[in-house]
Chains A and B, each alone.
Chain A
Amino acid sequence: MASNIDMISLLQSKFGEKIQIQPGVSGTASIVANNGLHHDVLAEMIAADEKTGIVAMTGLDFGQTLGVYYHVRTAKPFFTIKAEVPKADPKIRSVVDIHPGARFHELEVTDLFGVVFVGNEYDGHFVLSENWPDGVYPLRKDVDPTKVKLVPTPEREANLPAEGRQVKIIIGPQHPALLEPEKFSVTVDGETVTKVEPRIGYVHRGIEKSTESRTYLQDIYLVERVCGICNPAHAYGFVGAVEKILKPDVPERARYLRVIALELNRLHSHLLVLGHAGLEIGYETVFQYFWRDREPIMDLIELTSGNRVYGSLITVGGVRRDITAEQIPKIKSVLNDLRGKIPFYRKIYLDEPTIRLRMKEVGILSREDALKLSVVGPIARGSGVDIDVRKDIPYEAYGEIPFKEIVYPDGDVWARMNVRMDEVEESLNILDYALDHLPSGPIRVDVARSVPVGEAVCSLEAPRGELFYFVKSNGTDMPERVKIRTPTFANIPSFLKTAIGESIADIPSNFVSLDPCFSCTDR
C-alpha cells in the first residue's frame, strides 16, 4: 500500500520541476500539472496504487482560464490534480483511456463549463435540459443563467428499433421502478440487454450555481436539500469542507453528536433500500416490514434533530441541538427493539429462496471493474473492495469508535444487499458506543460569518457510499465554488456495465441494488 510520502516523492522523482506540489491543499496535497501532464500523473498514480480512482472532477472559472481539478482517491491519502486551459480554446486530454470511471465526470464538466475533453466528446446535453441553448455554460461566472433564452425542445427520441432484431425500450422518465424521473434507453436483443444509455438531468436544479449566491449559513440548508434521504451527510460534507478552511475548534461532544446524526441517517436509509428492493422484486411484505421498522428510527431522528427528514442538525462549529440525559434510555430502547428484529431480516436476505433466485448471480461486478469504475460504498464493498471513508480517513469521532468494515466478495445484487443488512447492525453498534461514550461539554463554538480565501475537500461515507464536497472560498460570506459529487453519480457506470448481457427482467433488482438517488446525481 502506497503511503502518503511515497506518492509525492514518487511523482517528484518522475516529473521533477514540471509539476508543482502544494502540500496540505485540497486533500493531502495538490499537484499542479498543466500542459497535458495531468494524464501522465494520473497514470503514474494508478500504476502505483490499485485503489487509485477519480472521486470527482471540478470545473472552475478563473476569468481568462478554466480550471479542471481531478480529485483523486488512493488507498489512504487524497490528492487533487490541477490543470488549467485557456477559455478561448478549452481543450484538454481525456483520461477515460486509463480510468473509465472518469467518463461521467468529464461529461458533466463539458456540459456545465464547456471544457472539451479530447477523446471523450459528447453531442447534446448531459445534465442540462434539452431546451438549454448550446454554447452557454451556466456555471461560468460570466453567465447569468436567469437571462438565458431557452430554445424549443428538440424532437423526442422515438421507440424505434435500433438495428436488426434489436429493440430499444425506454424506461422512464415516469416509471414505477424509478421513484424519480430519469430516463434509460435499454437496447435489447430478445430478452438480453445489449446496451444501456442513461439520460440524467431530470432533477437538475442548479444547486452548485445557487450556492454561490447564498451565504455559508444559507448554503447548509440548501445543500441538505440535494437529497431528502441522506441530508445530514450532505450537511456534514459542506460543513466539513468549510471547517477545514476556518479551522474552528469543534467540541468533542459535537463530534459525537454528529456521528449519532450520521449513523441514524445511515440506519434509516439502509432500511429504506432493503425494503424498497423487496418492492422491486414483488416482495411487498418485506417492503412493509422494513418500512414499519424504519418509522421508529424516523421518530429518533425527530427526537434528536427536531424534524423527521430535514433536521439541519449539523452546522459550522458544531451542532444545533443537544441530546439530553433523559433521551438516551429512550433512544437505546428503540435501537434495542430494532436489534432484536435483525436476525429475522438477515435470515430473509440470506436464505429466502425466492430472494436468492432473484438476487444471486445477478448484476455481477468484478473487483477489477469496481476499481476501474471507481465505484463507492456498498457497491464496492459488495465486490470485495474494502473502501470505507470512515475507516480510511476517519472523520469526526469515527477514529475512536470500534466497528467492522463489511465486505462481501460475491459482487452480485445479493452481496450488495447483505452488505447493507450487516451495516445496519454495525450502525446500531456505533450508535450504542457513541451514546455510552458521549463526552460532556458545549455543543458548538461561534465561528466567523466570512470565510478566508482557501479551498478544501471533505469526503465522508454517506449511506450510499463516499460523498465528496469541494469548497473554494474567496474571503466573503459566500463561497466561490462548491462542488458536490454524490455516491450515485459514481455508481451509475457500474450499472451500465453489469446490466449488459443479462435479462431485461433483472434490471429493476440490479438497479435498486445501487440504492440510486437521482436528486443527488443531478443536483
Chain B
Amino acid sequence: MTDTKTWARVKSPWVLHFNSGACNGCDIEIVALLTPKYDVERFGIKLEPSPRHADVLLVTGCVTQQCAERLKRVYDQMPQPKFVVAIGACACSGGVFAGNYNTLGGVDKVIPVTAYIPGCPPRPEAIIDGVVKLLNAINPPKQKKAVEA
C-alpha cells in the first residue's frame, strides 16, 4: 500500500505558484516550464489554481510585508502532505532586496521550506532539477518502510 501511495505522490505533484513580491523573472520561468520546450506535464506536474488542490507550493520573490500574511494563509489552506519550494535568490534569502524596508527577505522567515532553488532567475532546467530532487526525497528510505510493516 505504502509503495502505491508513494508512487502516486511522486508521479503526480500538482503545484501552486505564489508570487510573494518577485520581479517576474522567476515567475515567467515557471510558466515557461509548462510550454513545449520544457513541458513538465511529462512528470505529471500540473499548475493548479487553488491552494486546496496543490501538493507543492512554488514561492518566488523576497516576501514583502504586504504578502507575508497572505503567503501564510495560502500555505495553511493546502492539504497535507505539502511541500514548499523557494525559487530564486530572493525567495531563498532576499537576494538583492535583502534589508530593504518593505521586505522580509526569504520565504523561510514565514513558512517552512523543503527545497531551495537558487539563481536569478534559476533556469527552467534548474527548476525541473530541483523539483525532481524534491520528489526523490519524498520517496521514503527503505528502513522506514520496514518499521511501518
Contact = CB atoms under 8 A, between A and B. Distances in A.
| A contacting B, Cβ–Cβ less than 8 Å | yes
Contact of A519 (B24, B32, B49, B120): B24
A203 B26 CA distance: 14
B84 to A, nearest CB: 15
B29 interface: yes
Nearest to A156: B69
B14 interface: no
Interface string B119-137: 0110100000000000000
Contacts of A180: 19, 22, 24, 27
A128 B28 contact: no
B66 A129 contact: yes
Contact of A227 (B23, B29, B49, B100): B23
B70 A174 contact: yes
A118 interface: no
B112 to A, nearest CB: 19
B36 A292 contact: yes
Interface residues of B, number: 41
A221 B24 contact: no
Nearest to A143: B101
Interface stretch (B5-13, B57-65, B138-146): B57-65
Contacts of B36: 288, 291-292, 295
B102 interface: yes
A130 B69 CA distance: 11
Contact of A310 (B34, B35, B121): B121
A478 interface: no
Nearest to B121: A309
Contact of B23 (A176, A210, A228): A228
Contact of B102 (A179, A205, A229): A205
A209 B100 contact: yes
A360 interface: no
Contact of A229 (B20, B28, B69): B28
B20 to A, nearest CB: 7
Contact of B64 (A129, A222, A227, A288): A129
Contacts of A226: 23
Nearest to A147: B101
A331 interface: no
Given A209-B101, A288-B36, A228 B65 contact: no
Nearest to A209: B101
Given A205-B103, A209-B101, A229 B24 contact: yes
A202 B24 CA distance: 13
B110 interface: no
Contact of B24 (A128, A176, A228, A308): A228
B96 interface: yes
B67 A202 contact: yes
Contacts of B37: 292, 295
Nearest to A275: B35
Contacts of A150: 65
A145 B100 CA distance: 8
Interface in A168-190: 173-174, 176, 179-181
A130 B74 contact: no
A283 to B, nearest CB: 14
A291 B123 contact: no
Interface string B42-62: 000000010100000000011
A181 B20 contact: yes
B22 A308 contact: no
Nearest to A289: B36
A453 to B, nearest CB: 26
Contacts of B81: none
A205 B64 contact: yes
A225 B25 contact: yes
A148 B62 CA distance: 19
A176 B120 CA distance: 23
Contacts of B116: none
Contacts of A308: 29, 121, 123
Contacts of A295: 32, 35-37
Given A150-B65, A227-B24, A309-B25, A206 B100 contact: yes
Contact of B66 (A138, A202, A225): A202
B66 A204 contact: yes
B24, B31, B49, most chain A CB atoms within 10 A: B24
26 contacts: A129-B64, A129-B102, A132-B65, A145-B101, A174-B70, A179-B24, A180-B19, A181-B66, A202-B21, A204-B64, A209-B100, A209-B101, A210-B97, A225-B95, A228-B22, A228-B23, A229-B25, A287-B35, A288-B34, A291-B36, A292-B36, A295-B32, A309-B29, A310-B25, A519-B22, A519-B24
Interface of A: 128-132, 138, 145-146, 148, 150, 153, 173-174, 176, 179-181, 201-207, 209-210, 221-222, 225-229, 231, 272, 276, 287-288, 291-292, 294-295, 298, 308-310, 517, 519
Given A179-B28, A210-B99, 19 more contacts: A129-B65, A129-B102, A138-B102, A180-B19, A181-B21, A181-B66, A201-B66, A202-B70, A203-B61, A222-B96, A225-B96, A228-B22, A229-B28, A287-B35, A291-B36, A295-B36, A308-B121, A310-B25, A519-B24
